[in-house]
Amino acid sequence: MLIDEIIDLAADDSKSITTLLRKCIILGRRLKSDQLVSWAMQELNAYTSEDALPPYRVIAAGANGYFSGPFGSSVNNYPIAAVLLSEQHQHFATEVRLMEPIASYEELLRQKGNEFKIDWPADLDLMYQRRIRLTNGCCLTHGWQTISRGALAGVVDAIRNRALHMALDIKASLKSASDFEEPSPKKAEFLDRTVTTNIFGGMNVIASGRASVNSTISNSQNSIDVGNRDQLWDALRNSGVPQHGLDDLESAMQKDEGGFGSHVKRWTKEFAPKIVLGGVKIGAAAAQSVLTEFLKQYFGS
């Protein structure tokens, strides 16, 4: 039975993650779950948009660089502070966004070494060659980030764990094989909800007309008093922001000295893809507007 095959593949670290994901595509087709198919396809073929990147594919990582200067002088593996980069580039010194097919990272894990280097784009190197200079006159030649073997293994494990819990919940709900092969409308709805809960953490990702989304946004606002942290936190939780997201916002507020500054604005951009309003996961731009409105109400701006 397909569901048993998925359980076996997910539970065994020696089995290929790509085979598991292909089985998930078959399962998604049978369940008519576009969400499951889309997730598995993006894991197999790469993510084309950072807005769609799941949180487990974003890993905290600093940046280092090789600097060269006059008379053959050089400095290798020197830390690069995020503050030296423009705001839109600072994530190249704070986190690694893993966009490639999961098979490429699975292949890396087969190689030796406890760390893996992610090179900066060549254009980024060129942009900062003259802008980042050490006190000895050396200029940046090449930048990179490193991620640990454990962090990369955690990405693969996150996929296995999601698929495993989904398959176990589906199997536990089945009374007979026919429940899976030809589910009733009620059973089909339950199975789709099981996929949503385990793969996406409860987010119901559905298509929605612009008017419906705008109405949802409108109904979600005008509910936060100036300086009322509890109301702000409740609004953000109800919109799908997890506890670690609230912690990150708290840190951003402290860096901005309690105001609506650059760190808070960057937080709205990073967490916009996670926002769900009225059961609808809306586009990143619209979601960022919602977060901004919540925060404007809180700050009274």
pLDDT in tens, 154-201: 999 999 999 999 999 888 887 665 556 666 677 777 777 788 778 866
- Indicate the domain borders of the chain: 2-55+154-200, 56-148, 210-299
Average pLDDT over residues 286-291: 74
pLDDT at 208 over 70: no
Of the given ranges (200-209, 260-269, 270-279), which has the lowest mean pLDDT?
Answer: 200-209
By CB atoms closer than 10 A (0-12, 13-18, 19+), residue 136 is exposed
- Confidence at residue 84, expressed as pLDDT on a 0 to 100 scale: 93
pLDDT digits (tens, 9 = 90+) for 112-155: 888 999 999 999 999 999 899 998 889 999 999 999 999 999 99
- Confidence at residue 181, expressed as pLDDT on a 0 to 100 scale: 64
By CB atoms closer than 10 A (0-12, 13-18, 19+), residue 153 is middle
pLDDT at 215 over 60: no
Of the given ranges (4-8, 117-121, 246-250), which has the lowest mean pLDDT?
Answer: 246-250
pLDDT at 104 over 60: yes
Angstrom distance (rounded) from CA 126 to CA 113? 29
pLDDT at 93 over 90: yes
pLDDT digits (tens, 9 = 90+) for 42-62: 999 999 888 778 888 999 899
* Whole-Å CA distances, 104 to 64, 235, 297: 23, 39, 44
Supply the pTM of this predicted model. 0.63
